Amino acid sequence: MKLLRYGPAGAEKPGLLDTSGNVRDLSAVVPDIAGAALRPDVLKKLQELDVSSLPLVAGTPQQDLRLGPCVGDIGKFICIGLNYADHAEEAGMPIPPEPVIFNKWTSAICGPNDPIQIPRDSVKTDWEVELGVVIGAPGAYIDEANAMDHVAGFCVINDVSEREFQLERAGTWDKGKGCDTFGPTGPWLVTTDEVADMDNLEMWLEVDGDRMQSGNTSTLIYKIPHLISYCSRFMSLQSGDVISTGTPPGVGMGQNPPRYLSGGEVVTLGIAGLGEQRSSVLAAL
């Protein structure tokens, strides 16, 4: 299934994408694509629905029908840093001996086609296409062998980052990662049964039509089951939590000379089988 949320910001309704590319409303079935609705028993009931019997929503998704972030009320937006060897190299940083964990504030989350707002005083706003993992069954101290039993599905994430805030100011990375609009998420949550090989997904990102990032999840340093198990040592994972698993090379910081967003650009990105995002960039207020 491809689960989604549609409608005005802050008033999104739950839906799914049918095989014809139309949105079907799920409001009579689940209150939202969030929390307990992502647990395995509920997902099983959704998969058993007669999709043709669900109300058809007018409009074309990502054109005249706005899509919100594909998961609502995300409790934790967990990110993994330097998880592609070639990205660590372009950043001039060693491969970490264990996963690097940081956070994006949930106020950063926005829809896959919503504008990206350059924050005030920014000089180094950057892009990062990433594979997002959405937790279904909650748990703590999860065994790596059973980790995928806790996954509801996958999605596309742009881990927008302000590098000066992140790396050149005192303190942790978080202040450069969680600015408003720095977490476009979606367009849809693709359940695990529709992803044939999570370790071989092509991913890409373009700025104004220039291909900046081309990568594949095959080059992840720490694979998804390990990341789930590892994160669950330090916090319980709840239904609807999101783990963003790292970015391949080609970020603005790694260009020669570096290239950053300043406003007026259009950023497009996608992951094979998981959909695409297209965001206009707004200059700082």
Inter-CA distances, 64 with 57, 155, 202, Å: 11, 21, 27
3-class SS of residue 156: strand
Summary mean pLDDT of the chain: 96
pLDDT digits (tens, 9 = 90+) for 185-240: 999 999 999 999 999 999 999 999 999 999 999 999 999 999 999 999 999 999 99
Distance between CA atoms of 199 and 217, rounded to whole angstroms? 5
Annotated domain spans of the chain: 69-282
CATH classification of 69-282, choosing from 3.40.50.10860, 1.10.287.110, 3.90.850.10, 3.30.70.980?
3.90.850.10
Q: What is the pTM of this model?
A: 0.97
Rg of the chain over all Cα atoms, to the nearest angstrom: 18
* 74, 78, 168, 280 from 105: Cα distances, Å: 10, 9, 19, 21
What is the mean pLDDT of the segment spanning 38-45? 98
Task: Pick the closest to residue 6 from 51, 50, 46, 64 (CA basis).
Answer: 64
What pLDDT sits at residue 171? 84
